[in-house]
Structure 1
Amino acid sequence: MNPTSLLERYGDSAVLALGGLVIGGLFGFFAQRSRFCLRAAVIEFWHGKFGDRLSVWLLAFSAAVVGVQLLILAQWLDVSSARQLAARGSLSGAMIGGLVFGAGMIMTRGCASRLLILSANGNLRALLSGLIFAVTAQASLSGSLAPLRNTLSAWWTVEGGPSRDLLAITGAGNAGGIVFGLVWLAAALWFSVRSGRSVWKWVGGIGTGLTIAAGWGYTHLVSINSFQVVQVQGLTFSGPSAEWLMRVLSSPGPAIGFDLGLLPGVFLGSFIGAWVGKDLKLEGFANASGMPRYIAGAMLMGFGSMLAGGCAVGAGLTGGAIFALTAWLALVGMWLGAGLTDRLLDGKPAGQRITPPP
């Protein structure tokens, strides 16, 4: 059955939601099995320990870049209408939001996607942090924190179109984007070999990155076969988290689409991955003194993600793979904010072994 027939039979909303569920499930499974985590990668980097966590993140990042750019060159994907490129963007919001998100990521010991994955494995600390993240994201989008977000975003803006496209700004083009991705893929493979051979590190890291390309490609496929206006988009967790919160708290909820299936898919995929790997374990707070750190960190991540225009996946991988200027600024801010916060709160002597995230 061709895409047009599916859309006519089941409708755009159902087809998009189903795609979100399947692609989210694959992301959750691969990310869980590979221990994909930006926070852990940042800590290894700033402590000079180029090990498994950094290797996995680099594998995912480079696979996302190469996959997305190949789809564009093959004319199977057009991202010119994506909000990360087409809409007016905020450079100040991207930089400040990235710094704030990075700080919160260290305090909660995981980014937004990692919190969802850990929640599916039985981590109650991650579940509480994820709920607070969603509440703060919604408050930043259209609630009490929206005026502050709008003020910071207005400080330095950039027009949509070529002005937000790093490949257009540099003149590298999509071929240059592929070369860039391949260089980082080679670096990722080198770090991976140095840190030891692990099937799930390789398969999981690359698989996680390819789901980013799958998200872009799937929504584009629906958009060109639909008689309705369908937004071409990729994977992100800040917007869908806020959407699911409003869906639970109010009726009628937001319109059904790709994001509806994404979060349940990631949760289910991570649960299956934990079951396969025997990682299911109910965990809570060891003591009450750690709770304020998680709560404050989740609030910083929720606000930072909305200010930056995306989370560690939404900006770092999804926006980074299409070379959106604001996404790259946000990603740099996340690495800097996380590194500084780690040094202030959890600083350890250089060379000391980094423990994996909980």
Structure 2
Amino acid sequence: MLETLIDTYGDGAVLAMAGALVGVIFGVAAQHSRFCLRAATIEVAERHLGPRLSIWLIAFSAGVLSVQGAIAAGVLDVSQSRQLAATGSMSGAVIGGLMFGAGMILARGCASRLLVLSATGNLRALITGLVLTIVAQSALRGALSPAREGLARLWLVPGGEARDLLAHLGLTHATAATLAALALMASVMLALMRHVRVSHVLAGMGVGLAIGLGWLATYAVSQTSFEVIPISSVTFTGPSTDTLMGLVNSTSLPLGFGVGLVPGVFVGAASMALVTREWKIERFGPDTPMERYLLGAVLMGFGSMLAGGCAVGAGMSGGAIFALTAWVAVTAMWLGAMATHLLMLRPTRRAAPG
């Protein structure tokens, strides 16, 4: 069937359709579960293992389980993915991750969360996301690219086993899948203890499932097509910049997985918001100053390109295949976010009575 689709519509169109399907699943699940790395980091920073942390852990462990389970079953091979096969940057993962984490707190959401919120009528998220995308494009190919390349070259790591965290730990894919299953069960227990709705728990699993489906879909096309197709999964900064630049610079948009993913997430999140009657217009106000959001967008746009992906692209998709730089990047994102949140709390605590 896949061969027929490729022969009829071409590689790009099939990848775009797969991206749209995965995007809809991610958008629906992320909107309903309130999946948000920023909210999870805030709970940990405030020493509270709350519902948002449990949802993020459910999504992450479900993503790792689906990917590592597929690899162990022999239906997926990610060894040629960019996150594992190409030369990576440890300095970029650390510096970019810290920048992204700080920006995520300032902008009240990571790249994926901003896209989901934009679909629910949040104009703050829409403007912030556009600025993030423009800065990311500048860091990739524009005026900011020399700075990004200079920071990335500070500490490089070769592709192959050097970037494979499982190889460093001496673990098999089956072992990783088993550990992810145990982590998923523990995360579900934490969610139920924190009175998280069952539908939100299932939606959190859906976020992780979308990560696995993304890897499987692009791998299946790469194995069927006569062209060289890079395998990848859900990520937002790169696809968002490609989509935006394609719309403003060209009369035709080159089709691919990311081009279908971004509108798919938007449609999925908007549909869920409409069904649950959560769609409403939200604007900047006295308690939501634009300058803070824009600073956060700049930090996330540059940081994501330096770190090799956003909180989902590096943290979830890269983390699910145990790319070393991805785990370093998401750890730096957590640290940067928690430190920024605690620093922002200090003036409030000083102003409080007593």
- Which blocks of at least 5 consecutive residues in structure 1 are unaligned? 351-358
Amino acid at match of 2:331: V
Q: Deviations over 1:290-325 (max 9, x none)?
A: 110000000000000000000000011000000000
Identity %: 51
Comparing 254-263 with 221-230, greater Cα deviation is found at 254-263
Report the counterpart of residue 355 of structure 1 in structure 2: none
Amino acid at match of 1:8: D
State the alpha-carbon separation in 1 of the partners of residues 243 and 328 from structure 2: 27
State the alpha-carbon separation in 2 of the partners of residues 215 and 166 from structure 1: 21
Q: Deviations over 1:131-182 (max 9, x none)?
A: 0000000000000110000000000000001100001111102022112212
Report the counterpart of residue 117 of structure 1 in structure 2: 116
Report the counterpart of residue 130 of structure 1 in structure 2: 129
User: Cα–Cα, structure 1 residues 192 and 147, in superposed 2: closer, same or farther, change >3 Å?
Assistant: same
Report the counterpart of residue 241 of structure 2 in structure 1: 242
Report the counterpart of residue 157 of structure 2 in structure 1: 158
Amino acid at match of 1:296: L
Report the counterpart of residue 304 of structure 1 in structure 2: 303
State the alpha-carbon separation in 2 of the partners of residues 238 and 52 from structure 1: 26
- Find the residue that maps to 2:58 and give its secondary structure: helix
Tell whether 2:101 aligns with 1:106.
Answer: no
Comparing 47-56 with 78-87, greater Cα deviation is found at 47-56
State the alpha-carbon separation in 1 of the partners of residues 306 and 346 from structure 2: 27
Report the counterpart of residue 26 of structure 1 in structure 2: 25
Comparing 288-297 with 164-173, greater Cα deviation is found at 288-297
Report the counterpart of residue 193 of structure 1 in structure 2: 192
> Structure 2 length as normaliser, TM-score?
0.96
User: Cα–Cα, structure 1 residues 278 and 191, in superposed 2: closer, same or farther, change >3 Å?
Assistant: same
Amino acid at match of 1:76: V
Amino acid at match of 1:205: G
Report the counterpart of residue 356 of structure 1 in structure 2: none
Amino acid at match of 1:329: V
Q: How far does residue 199 in structure 1 lie from its aligned partner after superposition?
A: 2.1
For residues 1-358 of structure 1, what are the structure 2 equivalents within 5 Å? 2-251=1-250, 255-287=254-286, 290-347=289-346
Amino acid at match of 2:173: N
State the alpha-carbon separation in 1 of the partners of residues 255 and 30 from structure 2: 25
- Which blocks of at least 5 consecutive residues in structure 2 are unaligned? 350-354
Structure 1 segments of 4 or more deviating over 4 A? 347-350
State the alpha-carbon separation in 2 of the partners of residues 253 and 157 from structure 1: 36
Q: Deviations over 1:230-286 (max 9, x none)?
A: 111111001011101211221266631101100000000000110111100001011
User: How many residues get paired?
Assistant: 349
Report the counterpart of residue 352 of structure 2 in structure 1: none
State the alpha-carbon separation in 1 of the partners of residues 26 and 143 from structure 2: 32
